[in-house]
Amino acid sequence: MTVGDTTSGAGAEPPSDSSVHATPHHEVDHTAEPTDDPLAIRLEQLILGADRRYTPFQAARTAGVSMDLASRFWRAMGFADIGQAKALTEADVLALRRLSGLVEAGLLSEPMAIQVARSTGQTTARLAEWQIDSFLEGLTEPPEPGMTRTEVTYPLIELLLPELEEFLVYVWRRQLAAATGRVVQAADDEEMVDRRLAVGFADLVGFTRLTRRLEEEELGELVESFETTCADLVAAHGGRLIKTLGDEVLFAADDAGTASEIALRLVEAMTLDETMPALRVGIAFGTVTTRMGDVFGTTVNLASRLTSIAPKDAVLVDGAFAKELTRTGDAPVSEARAAEEAAAAKESADGEEPAPVPKYRYGLQPMWQRPVRGLGIVEPWLLARRGTS
């Protein structure tokens, strides 16, 4: 539930905190009434493990925080204002106390605490919606005749809640360990926020036309299959899936070689799947600003633009990415240079073993320079697999 504004409701205690301001009479009250549906209330009690007991003002006072800070915490977590309805629980008070305690102890600044609340709320909101939709979709028949899907929800949640809670904490700890490992390996403090990464977009071609041709269920299955394939391949080969946008995914990798392998495997996987439309991928390498698990900056914008001009079933990269790939020895500077290296390796002095032939995983083909909106003239490179020379 959500702590709302200080608009007084029937039976609410008058706020006394100096930071509380009554809602001006000319403002429209957009607060949402908490549900009074008996089953919904039972489910809420089951999940939260407590009964409704406090108004938002009472919860803030009990937690020892100002109403203003409590409201900002709850809104950041993504909950609707509820005025001064008695709809909060001991769990809500404890959450407020813990978050404000981190600020009081100096472990988090107030803006950072708000960011923690917002990032956690946004992530778990999507997770919760997905889980409920998926679980209920899998129930084809109720366990007892005459039961509605809503009535099935209670026993389902009762069985799943403790297991899912433990699994969620396990995955979060694993992800936190991985993220912490990346931070401690950063060269300096600035690199922890503004990092050099390979950023790629993978986009389904002709998705808009598909939305007009396919039924909603078919379209949903296609999107889910696409997102699942991308998530699996990105994770398996050392990248990080930043977000999914239906017909497009955004991923990042610490180096150009990893990003190349992910991009080409994505194209290969979609090509082998006859149910999938063509895929195009654009990747750029450079400084990226990271915030709340997302990435921003010119490098990200460039990757997006490259994706929009990439050929079907192909990967287009920028000059910085191509340069990085040649620097690490994953691609030759040019095919002519690779041919020269191969020829030189075959020549050997009398009685000596021939020098090893350089092995490159990827090949780069320069494309025509072209203007890219907002980014000036760009020289893209076509990325492909390459056998040993």
Q: Is position 66 within any domain?
A: yes
184 in any annotated domain: no
Cα(176)–Cα(171) distance, integer angstroms: 8
Q: So what's the pLDDT on residue 287?
A: 92
* SS3 state of residue 150: helix
Is residue 88 very low, low, confident or very high in pLDDT (cuts 50, 70, 90)?
very high
Average pLDDT over all residues of the chain: 81
DSSP label of 331:
S
Tell which of 98, 122, 138 closes a domain: 138
Cβ neighbours, 10 Å, residue 305 = 22
Contacts of 371 (CB under 8 A, 6+ apart): 377, 378
Q: What's the rounded Cα separation, in Å, for the pair 383 and 134?
A: 38
Instruction: Give the per-residue pLDDT at 102.
Output: 93
Answer for the pair 282, 314: CB distance below 8 angstroms, yes or no.
Answer: no
Q: What pTM was estimated for this model as a whole?
A: 0.66
Domain extent, residue 292, equals: 190-337+364-385
**Greatest C-alpha distance within the chain:** 100
Is 242 in the same domain as 321? yes
Same domain, yes or no: 115 and 218? no
- 136 has a pLDDT exceeding 80: no
Average pLDDT over residues 304-308: 93
Q: What CATH number did the domain enclosing 121 receive?
A: 1.10.1660
Q: Is the pLDDT of residue 326 over 90?
A: yes
Based on the fold, state whether residues 201 and 299 are members of the same structural domain: yes
Give domain status of residue 134, yes or no: yes
If asked whether residues 123 and 244 sit together in one domain, one would say no
Task: Based on the fold, state whether residues 242 and 380 are members of the same structural domain.
Answer: yes
Q: Is residue 375 part of a domain?
A: yes
pLDDT at 180: 83
Average pLDDT over residues 275-296: 90
Q: Is 330 in contact with 361 (CB distance < 8 Å)? A: yes
| H helix and E strand count, the chain | 13, 10
Tell me how many domains the chain contains: 2
Q: Are 115 and 30 in contact (CB under 8 A)?
A: no
81 and 225 in a common domain: no
Among 340, 295, 344, smallest CA distance to 197 is for 295
Pair 91, 202 in one domain: no
Phi and psi at 76, nearest 5°, equal -60, -35
Tell whether 215 and 134 lie within a shared domain: no
When computed from its CA atoms, the radius of gyration of the chain, rounded to whole angstroms, is 27
Same domain, 276 and 381: yes
Q: Read off the tokens for 51.
A: 């009964």
Q: Look up the CATH number of the domain holding residue 295.
A: 3.30.70.1230
Q: Are residues 203 and 330 in the same domain?
A: yes
Domain endpoint, select from 138, 172, 204: 138
Instruction: Check whether residue 75 and residue 209 sit in a common domain.
Output: no
The predicted pLDDT at position 36 comes to: 75
Residue pair 87/52 in contact by the 8 Å Cβ criterion: yes
Task: From 117, 138, 159, give the residue that closes a domain.
Answer: 138
In a domain, 146, yes or no: no
Task: Tell me, yes or no, whether 309 lies in a domain.
Answer: yes
The CA-atom distances, in angstroms, between 101 and each of 15, 106, 292 are 22, 9, 21
Q: Is 215 helix (H, G, I), strand (E, B) or coil?
A: coil
- Contact between 73 and 92 under an 8 Å Cβ cutoff? The reply is no
Q: What is the pLDDT of residue 233?
A: 93
Digit-coded pLDDT (tens) for 340-366: 666 666 665 444 565 666 688 999 999
Same domain, 121 and 215: no
| 64 assigned to some structural domain | yes
Question: Is residue 27 one of the residues assigned to a domain?
Answer: no
Report pLDDT for 49: 87
CB-based contact 164:131 (threshold 8 Å)? yes
Task: Judge contact between 385 and 308, C-beta under 8 A.
Answer: no
Q: Where are the alpha helices (DSSP H) in the chain?
A: 38-48, 56-63, 67-76, 90-104, 110-137, 149-184, 189-193, 207-213, 216-236, 256-272, 298-309, 319-327, 335-346
Per-residue pLDDT at 14: 37
